[in-house]
Structure 1
Amino acid sequence: MTAIELGDARAFRRRIAAVRRLRLALAAVVLLAAVGLVAVAFREDSSPPSLLPGSSSGIVVLDVSASISSDTYARIDATLGRLIRSNGSYGLILFSDTAYQTLPPQTPASELKPIQRFFEVPKQNGPGALPQAPRSPWTEAFSSGTRISTGLSLALDVIRGNRLVRPAVLLVSDLDDDDSDIDRVSQVAIAYRRAGIPLHVVGLNASPEDAAFIRRFVRGHGSFTEAALPSEQGGGSVHVDRLFVGLAVVLVLAVAGFLLLSEPLRWRAT
């Protein structure tokens, strides 16, 4: 180390104290900024993921068969609520052993509200049996067995007939399909894959066997989720933004390098 004689070293004492305070303040500000960037980068996303891709022309295929119970009615209610809050546009097909189109493609999601009210199960105010599911227009005349292929086939016809761009289908069902319909469901699912139409499925308390059967057709070209009640949806997922993490790391490294390379001169008054 080289020592240089300096006649007025005493005059620099106040300056060096000020520089030290400035360096510490700069380090504190940058550290707080880095912490803030990391906090923003790992922010929690409280909204559940979308059931259908936002850019797709979605068709919802809803199971209203007799096998649907009051508990699964409540899950349909929650699922329709998610679709309505998405502010997207959807077509709607209802099915049991037959199927019919209730809403045409590109209908605003708000138009699902009149359908949703038929699945709003009254709250249970005391012990005893669960409240009965509300009566709907299809309770007597439409609901009987479950033939999933009827709903999926009609959705495919609607997509082709309207020449929809980027179509996607959302099947909402307990998946308790009639045994005689299994082969037909397989054929329709294969037709979806060949046409490049993703099939997304929301299971309504589906049995493990039924869920495993339908998962084969959505693997790699769709999705499968279980419908959840609002009380079961949890707090959302953690979203990680790599850009903010990278900026925080760069800031910390830059300040560390500055503090190491810009160490002020030291002197001693004699």
Structure 2
Amino acid sequence: MIPAPERLRSKAIPTSVPGELDAARHRTTALRVGLALAALGLLAVVVVLSRGLEPLPTSYFATGSGGVVVLDLSTSVDQQKAQRAHRVLKTLSETEGRVGLVVFSDTAYEMLPPDTRSEELRPLLPFFAPRATPEPDGRRSGFPGRPSGQRPTATSLNSPWSQTFRGGTRISTGLAEARRMIERDGDRRLSVTLLSDLDNSGFDTSQLVEEITTYQREGITLRVIPLFPQPDDRSLFVRIAGEKTLVERAELLRNTDVEERQSLVGAFPTALVIAIAALLLVLAASERLLGRLDWRVAR
């Protein structure tokens, strides 16, 4: 009976001149080590490149992963401003991400918790969609693509919350509610996106400054999508929160034009693809060059 250690040994070809094979053995060992190091190096490159991908945000949130929308429903938000809010909410509803929603005027309340699927925003879209009203004299409106005698309205937003939010604007209440939601959720990566015309009450200025200071102290990122604010209101908010908090028109156009129904859109990762292809080539070379010795009986 063959001892167990002998049975576990791999089969080898017996030879009486092993010294003649030393060069081949050393060459094979060096090739094996070199291919292994190359594979590990390329694997590290792939990991680094994959972690460094920077897709374009289509969700308006700073991290691209989700956050809380703070929506201004005060009486100063007319149909023109609501139309911009509609485009933003529609884009968010297409991202298949997670989103929370706070609505506010002079008071605020949580409408959706932070872990809500973004598609839950879709039932709200009809209340912010652009509407048309008949011309007083029944003449053609002159607006391309609109039926005769209709033009866009500029009246206050008519929604189920119109009777609740009849007061002025106190942005600090909406931001405070969003901050409490993030603190309760425990995920500091969530950012806050404010949709407002920034027509804030003068009595709220000190509270707004205090709330934004709290955001900065606690590391909560604030982004602001202005709904056609007056120059004075915009300037005041910039002085309080900084210019970088505002989402500029170019980003708004880029994001609202994305209709592929996907959460992230980015440039083609050329470097990552090349690194993966090189890794596959190294693995294929290792399999081809370092495979087990095979033979057949000569006939």
- TM-score bracket, normalised by the shorter chain, equals 0.5 to 0.7
1:41-56 to structure 2, matched below 5 A, reads 49-56=58-65
- 1:146 matched residue in structure 2: 169
Is structure 2 residue 81 aligned with structure 1 residue 72? yes
Q: C-alpha displacement at 1:158, in angstroms?
A: 1.1
Query: CA separation in 1, counterparts of 2:226 and 2:107?
Result: 19
- 1:87 matched residue in structure 2: 96
The one of 188, 207, 210 equivalent to 1:184 is: 207
Q: How many residues were matched structurally?
A: 200
Query: CA separation in 1, counterparts of 2:251 and 2:75?
Result: 20
Tell me the amino acid that sits aligned with residue 189 of structure 2.
Answer: R
Query: CA separation in 1, counterparts of 2:270 and 2:226?
Result: 33
- 2:8 matched residue in structure 1: none
CA change 1:223–1:240 in 2 (3 A) is farther
Quote the RMSD (CA, aligned, Å). 3.5
Tell me the amino acid that sits aligned with residue 168 of structure 2.
Answer: G
Is structure 2 residue 118 aligned with structure 1 residue 109? yes
- 2:29 matched residue in structure 1: none
CA change 1:114–1:240 in 2 (3 A) is closer
- Deviations along 1:108-135, whole A, 9 cap, x unmatched? 0100011122111235434565236663
Q: C-alpha displacement at 1:207, in angstroms?
A: 1.7
Range with greater deviation from structure 2 (82-91 or 221-230): 221-230
Query: CA separation in 2, counterparts of 1:120 and 1:193?
Result: 34
The share of aligned pairs that are identical, in percent, is 33
Tell me the amino acid that sits aligned with residue 52 of structure 1.
Answer: F
Is structure 2 residue 147 aligned with structure 1 residue 125? yes
- Deviations along 1:22-48, whole A, 9 cap, x unmatched? xxxxxxxxxxxxxxxxxxxxxxxxx88
- 1:199 matched residue in structure 2: 222
CA change 1:232–1:81 in 2 (3 A) is closer
For the residue of structure 2 that corresponds to 1:224, the secondary structure is coil
Query: CA separation in 1, counterparts of 2:270 and 2:238?
Result: 32
Query: CA separation in 2, counterparts of 1:220 and 1:211?
Result: 10
Query: CA separation in 1, counterparts of 2:73 and 2:219?
Result: 27
Task: Name structure 2 gaps, 5 residues minimum.
Answer: 1-55, 133-145, 260-265, 273-299
Is structure 2 residue 186 aligned with structure 1 residue 163? yes
- Deviations along 1:81-134, whole A, 9 cap, x unmatched? 111122211110000010000001110010001112211123543456523666
Tell me the amino acid that sits aligned with residue 78 of structure 2.
Answer: S
- Do the aligned residues in 1 keep the contact of 2:62 with 2:223 (CA within 8 Å)? no
Q: What's the TM-score, normalizing by structure 2? A: 0.57
